[in-house]
Structure 1
Amino acid sequence: MDNLQSSDLKSILHSKRANMFYLEYCRVMQKDGRVLYLTESLGKQSKENLYYNIPIANTTVILLGNGTSITQAAMRMLAQAGVLVGFSGGGGTPLYMANDVEQAIEWFTPQSEYRPTEYLHGWMQFWFDDQKRLAAAKTLQQKRIEFLKKVWTKDKDLKTEGFSFDDTAIQNALDSFYTRTEQAKKQSDLLLTEAQLTKVLYKYAANNTNTAEFKRQHVSTDLANDFLNHGNYLAYGLAASCLWVLGIPHGFAVMHGKTRRGALVFDVADLIKDAIVLPWAFICGKENATEQEFRQQILQAFTDHKALDYMFDTVKAIALSNHDEINNKEANKDA
């Protein structure tokens, strides 16, 4: 059989790709036209090496954790397939600098001169205007709540665990959130409103799962915090992939500030974190799940609720609304 080439693989839109990998203690390599990862057998008497295929045409992100290496040939094929590759600490979350995407995870983005231009053009057409940038930030916050409602009203497992979008505590918090978001005059107002809502959601999740005296800590202190860190970095991987595919640089944030590195990744990841990562971090913490079990649960939830599709749809809508507005004005002038 002839060796496969990356160009021979059927292209799958990034928003429709099903796979996201976290690998540790293995070597990623190219073999016979495929990308594989190599591990040593766990058997005490066995010295057998085990090869596992990575379906790169249907993969969005690969995170390489502790004890990993990757060959140049494998990176070439991953780049050709448009897979985002990142190095991280154990479990996908370093024990240090767990807040900064570009330092906590070093992202390697595939090189491509043929990504679409209209999304970047549309983003730039509003980004330098303070009021339009604030309006985009408000849109992201509204879409964040829409996704929360969509997931919490649909997911039967979350309902079983007591997570209800219609709960009085949630609705009271959202009433205040909507009012303060609408009245916000600058990004710092939105960040404060966001922080207050998240604090309510943490308390709600802690009460549902009987997590005593929970306090959010980015340095590892308990399972709930560990899983929140882990799940957030998986969300950052999806957000970074979304922005790379659309050709929008990570520095052009609308919510987290002009000078914070990678801030647009945080903006986009926030669309799905509260709805999926937050509740499952507490649930899996209550059940003493392993990191692998938690990761499988989160990735399945991302797939079930089409989290990556939602990111793409939201970012494209914000960019194209401004791009189309400018184009219409120019067309009217020409007429």
Structure 2
Amino acid sequence: MEQFSPSDMKTILHSKRANMYYLEYCRVMQKDGRVLYLTEALSNKKSGENQYFNIPIANTTVLLLGNGTSITQAAMRMLAQAGVLVGFCGGGGTPLYMSCEVEWFTPQSEYRPTEYLHGWLQFWFDDEKRLDAAKTFQTARLDYLERIWTKDKDLKSEGFTLQDASLQSAFETFHNRTDAAAKQSDLLLTEAQLTKALYKYAANAVSIDDFTRQHDSNDKANDFLNHGNYLAYGLAACCLWVLGIPHGFAVMHGKTRRGALVFDVADLIKDAIVLPWAFVCAKENATEQEFRQQILQKFTDHKALDFMFETVKSMALHLGSSSNKQNDFEEQETLVGRSLERQNDEDTER
């Protein structure tokens, strides 16, 4: 049998990896050179052959550990060697307490690329360029939503259409206020107004009356939104770790908020994928596991992680090296637009 070193496990690009795991009530361990998990439900059986389940770490981006889980030091070492991000969270992928966030354990590696951090820092200390970057994120976010909602047949069958007059009005207002924003707080207010409009539209589309966004609510729509958002945070954290950009260098969220840049990047896909499917699955009275499987499948179908990588990389390499401040925002919009077009062409070919 051909031998390989632990570093060989990183040969699958993170943007192309297929798996994101959420585990609960199990023990994660290393056995015979593999990372396995042992479920409590099977641990009392006399036959040990079928108690262990393999985790293909070379093809995994994020491992979320929920209630009743433990992990060994040896397993953490192998996960780090494969570049897998590990997060501890509450039940269903969301925190046990709303003041508590997912805590990420990021593998340590001095061999990650440096050019993206260098490019990011070149513009980050410039207030105008940082605002341009925030505007680029917001524009890319809506462009991605429009592309996904246009081509996703499942969403169309659930009544989600961009031809709705209220949506078109909200999008036009969003673009106008984003272009005119003079500071990050203006963008945050514009973002909140758009999200509120999307919540209202989605609730009406699936006939959920009197919906109110509450992070500590017990209704399924709110629970699924929390759950899906934390899965998006996992992808965003993975993207930033691979590119070597610390999460503290946010362009939009508050300077004192933990994981701020993780939230900026996760916002790129949350409205397009998590939001509509949270409402659809709530209408269908889906279980947490069914919702999670649906969201992860849609992340894969619509290449959400690829889109995060493309957007962050183009911003770091081009906005950081640009010397013409007046054209920074327009140039970034063009680059992100080209990224969307490439992904759309690939989907069409398939």
TM-score, normalized by length of structure 1?
A: 0.92
Which residue is equivalent to 1:15? 15
Look up the match of 2:32: 32
Cα deviation digits, residues 72-131 of structure 1 (max 9, x gap): 111000000000000000111024226xxxx41111000000111111011111111111
1:155 is the counterpart of 2:152? yes
Do residues 203 (structure 1) and 200 (structure 2) align? yes
Greater CA deviation, 164-173 or 30-39? Answer: 164-173
Q: 1:35 is paired with a residue of what secondary structure?
A: strand
Deviations 1:171-195 (A, max 9, x none): 1100100000000000000000000
**Correspondence 1:88-237 to 2 at 5 A:** 88-97=89-98, 103-237=100-234
Deviation at 1:4, TM superposition (A): 6.6
Unmatched runs of 5 consecutive residues or more in structure 1: 327-335
Identity across matched positions, percent: 77
1:307 aligns with 2:308: no
Distance 1:209 1:135 in 2: 36
Measured in 2, the distance between the counterparts of 1:183 and 1:169 equals 21
Query: Unaligned 5+ residue runs, structure 2?
Result: 324-350
Q: Give distance in 2, aligned partners of 1:36 and 1:266.
A: 30
How many residues end up aligned between the 2 structures?
Answer: 321
Partner in structure 2 of residue 250 of structure 1:
247
Q: For residues 51 and 31 of structure 1, do their structure 2 counterparts lie closer, same or farther at Cα, with a shift above 3 Å needed?
A: same
**Partner of residue 289, structure 1:** 286
Counterpart amino acid of 1:87?
Answer: F
Q: Which residue of 1 aligns with 2:319?
A: 322
Name segments (4+ residues, structure 1) moved above 2 Å: 1-10, 40-43, 45-49, 322-326
| CA distance in structure 2 between the aligned counterparts of 1:120 and 1:155, rounded to whole angstroms | 34
Residue equivalent to 1:83: 84
Change (3 A) 1:46 1:80: closer
- Structure 2 CA distance, aligned partners of 1:129 and 1:324? 12
TM-superposed CA distance for 1:323, in Å, is 3.8
Distance across 2 between alignment mates of 1:188 and 1:323: 22
Structure 1 residues 69 and 271: CA distance shift in structure 2, 3 A: same
Deviation of 1:261 (Å): 1.6
Aligned to 2:61: 60
Normalised by the size of structure 2, how large is the TM-score? 0.88
Match of 1:333 in 2: none
CA 1:25–1:218: 2 relative to 1, 3 Å: same
What is the rounded CA distance, in whole Å, between the counterparts of 1:95 and 1:283 in structure 2? Answer: 24
